[in-house]
């Protein structure tokens, strides 16, 4: 029995069509009903940290995330030493008074007893500076320095280990506070605020406010008053000097 040549040709053409079209079927089905659409959707936002308000002390463990906290005393991580009632006040840092800071080059009078510096500025460590200070660049306060007044810098502030600022600390950028520094007034950083181990902000007699876009806090930091992280706050639990 012989097969009709027309039928054989038709079967041959169908087989060729299947061989040519077959590899494209999965792509066509994916185009019709894509399976990766869910993978492309952004993950749902994490549950925001709840606001914490208390008329007693609040202690946050290491790696805790937070947004807003209000309390007479806020302890981050493990407290290293008992808090001092003189936190945020111009306490002596040595057995002898600090020498006055020399006039800053190019500083211009600003406001009521304050000064303004164009560009970057450095206050030497273990020196006593009197008066508020506005800096258009980056302001660095040396370790062990005492600043009696408010400080503001547009491009960032660095406060050295053990330094004391009796007034406010404000920056249009970030602020980094090293270990054991003391700040008496409000602290505001538009971007990132880093608080080193043992830093103290405010006092029981004069609570303060601490605010930043992102707040990174190390062990033993003590704040009297309120803390607000607009985007995120975390207790890192690591100490850096």
Q: What is the pLDDT of residues 49-105, one digit of tens each?
A: 788 999 999 999 999 999 999 999 999 998 765 444 444 444 444 456 899 999 999
Q: What is the predicted pLDDT for the residue at 180?
A: 95
User: Locate tokens 């066509």: which residue?
Assistant: 28
- How distant is the alpha carbon of residue 175 from its chain centre? 8
> Distance between CA 201 and CA 187 in Å, rounded?
8
Bridge-based pairing state of the strands 221-235 and 114-117 = unpaired
Predicted local distance difference test score (pLDDT) of residue 112: 87
Per DSSP bridges, beta strands 65-76 and 182-183 are unpaired
Dist CA 135 CA 157 (whole Å): 9
- Dihedral sign from CA coordinates of 189, 193, 199, 203: positive
Per-residue model confidence (pLDDT) at position 102: 95
What gap in Å lies between CA 10 and CA 186, rounded to an integer? 87
What predicted TM-score, i.e. pTM, was given to this entire model? 0.75
Closest CA to 216 of 201, 232, 200: 232
| pLDDT given at position 174 | 97
Residues in the chain, how many?
241
CA dihedral 233, 241, 154, 127 (to 10 degrees): 140
Whole-Å CA distances, 74 to 37, 166, 234:
45, 19, 13
What single DSSP character describes residue 109?
E
Residues in the chain, pLDDT under 50? 36-45, 82-94, 240-241
Rounded CA-CA distance 173/155 in Å is 5
């Amino acid at each position: 029995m012989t097969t009709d040549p027309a039928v054989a040709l038709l079967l041959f053409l169908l087989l060729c069509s299947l061989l040519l079209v077959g590899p494209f079927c999965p792509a066509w089905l994916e185009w019709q009903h894509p399976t990766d659409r869910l993978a492309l959707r952004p993950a749902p936002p994490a549950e925001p940290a709840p606001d914490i308000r208390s008329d007693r002390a609040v202690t946050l463990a290491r790696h805790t995330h937070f947004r807003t906290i209000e309390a007479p005393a806020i302890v981050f991580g493990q407290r290293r030493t008992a808090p001092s009632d003189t936190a945020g006040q111009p306490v002596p840092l040595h057995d002898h008074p600090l020498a006055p800071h020399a006039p800053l080059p190019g500083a211009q009078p600003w406001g009521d007893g304050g000064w303004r510096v164009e560009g970057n500025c450095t206050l030497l460590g273990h020196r006593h500076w009197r008066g508020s200070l506005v800096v258009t660049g980056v302001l660095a306060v040396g370790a062990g320095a005492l600043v009696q007044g408010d400080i503001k810098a547009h491009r960032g502030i660095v406060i050295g280990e053990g330094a004391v600022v009796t007034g406010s600390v404000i920056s249009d950028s970030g602020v980094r506070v090293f270990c054991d520094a003391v700040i008496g007034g409000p602290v505001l950083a538009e971007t990132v605020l880093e608080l080193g181990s043992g830093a103290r902000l405010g006092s029981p007699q004069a609570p303060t406010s601490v605010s930043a876009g992102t707040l990174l806090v190390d062990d033993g930091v003590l704040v009297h008053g309120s803390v607000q992280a607009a985007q995120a706050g975390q207790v890192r639990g690591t100490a850096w000097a």
